[in-house]
A = this chain, B = another copy of it.
Amino acid sequence: MDVVWDFLQVGLVGNFSWGNMAMLAIGCVFIYLGIARDYEPLLLVPIGFGVLVGNIPLSSGMNIGIYEEGSVLNVLYSGVTQGWYPSLIFLGIGAMTDFSAMLANPRLILLGAAAQAGIFLTFAGSLLLGFPPQEAAAIGIIGGADGPTAIFLAGQLAPHLLGAIAVAAYSYMALVPVIQPPIIRLLTTREERLIRMKPSPPVSKRLRIIFPILAFVLCASIAPGAISLLGFLFFGNLLKESGVTERLAKTARNSMIDIVTILLGLCVGASTDASRFLTPASIKIALLGAASFCVATAAGVLFAKLMNVFVKDKINPIIGAAGVSAVPDSARVCQMVGAQEDPQNFLIMHAMAPNVAGVIGSAVAAGVFLSRFMFN
């Protein structure tokens, strides 16, 4: 039975490590949170299972591991490292996103800009903690609260940190309903939280068609680094709004985004093997990410309060928190926090405006980093 014993050496028996065991536990926690707590299940379940797949202890050389050139996982992972999985997900998101709330009330776009301050503060903080600039940029984008953007930028600037960055980004996005409410309540008075905003006016079909074209040309001309994200987002949105390409939009927001989500989640999870993931850097990234979310939320809320100094139709500052993006979770959080004071106050319709603006904002921020760091 030596042969059986020899054989067992290629698996757990011969490659046992506490690190892998810990990661298997983390994978199970992710799956548990996705299923039992309903936290972003479409991402946590695939990522969680991917963590299991990537942390089975095994001898290398069997053409199985995600970092072994030519293995199945490695081939599928190329969509992450080359960046086209996130782009295609943005295409699908564009084909789902309704910019009406934002178009109806364009001043709310500024809230989506303000909340991106978290990105650049985290960038500075990461530099302070000793990360080199490219890695600091990839870590900073966690504060953008946008999974595909974070994965895209990490894949371009710091592929070795991709797993840690993606896990941090999605973890905090899942924890948005835990993180944001205390910060919102801390920074607002009850009177502010009771502000009722007047219903948004309707938006013409024509404006909804012109918007993605115009917004793309504007953003891309100033921050061309964002083309690989915003080009796909606005293209998807044009397919949705044009009225003549509905079958393409439908496929983009159904089969296409589902297929890419499955593969992206699995691969991102599988890229977190213990030796790469269980490092001091990951702990720093986790802390910086948490800080980033808090700063972004605060920036959004405070900027809304600042705007209220100048405008006549007051903005409920709660919806500033939706500017971090994390679509649509943070908009829901705003609705929930508002409803605790006044159950008849339907903030979610307004919160969608900074929420989708925040997606554009973090993609522009990613473009700024890309433009600066890809030349090196």
Contacts and interface: CB of A to CB of B under 8 A. Distances in A.
Interface of A: 7-8, 10-12, 24, 28, 31, 34-35, 38, 41-42, 45-46, 49, 52-53, 56-59, 61-64, 70-73, 75-76, 82-84, 87, 91, 156, 209, 213, 216-217, 220-225, 227-228, 231, 234-235, 238-239, 242-245, 247-248, 250-252, 254-256, 258-259, 261-262, 266, 368, 370-372, 374-375
A61 B375 contact: yes
B235 A53 contact: yes
A252 B259 CA distance: 7
B251 A251 contact: no
21 contacts: A7-B368, A11-B220, A12-B221, A12-B222, A31-B213, A34-B244, A34-B245, A35-B244, A42-B247, A42-B248, A56-B217, A62-B375, A63-B370, A64-B370, A71-B228, A248-B262, A251-B254, A252-B258, A254-B255, A255-B258, A256-B258
Nearest to A256: B259
Contacts of A31: 213, 238, 242
A170 B35 CA distance: 37
Contacts of A262: 91, 239, 248, 251-252, 256
A72 B228 CA distance: 7
A31 B214 CA distance: 12
A224 B244 CA distance: 37
Contact of A53 (B76, B231, B256): B231
Copies of this protein in the assembly total 3
Given A35-B209, A42-B245, 7 more contacts: A38-B244, A41-B245, A57-B224, A75-B84, A248-B261, A255-B256, A255-B258
Contacts of A75: 82, 84
A242 B61 CA distance: 33
Contact of A28 (B8, B213, B244, B371): B213
A7 B76 CA distance: 34
A84 B266 CA distance: 14
A370 B76 contact: no
A247 B8 CA distance: 38
A140 to B, nearest CB: 16
B84 A76 contact: yes
B258 A224 contact: no
Contacts of A220: 11, 53, 56, 58
A58 B234 CA distance: 19
A298 B324 CA distance: 61
Contacts of A254: 247, 251, 255
A220 B57 CA distance: 9
A217 B231 CA distance: 40
B222 A46 contact: no
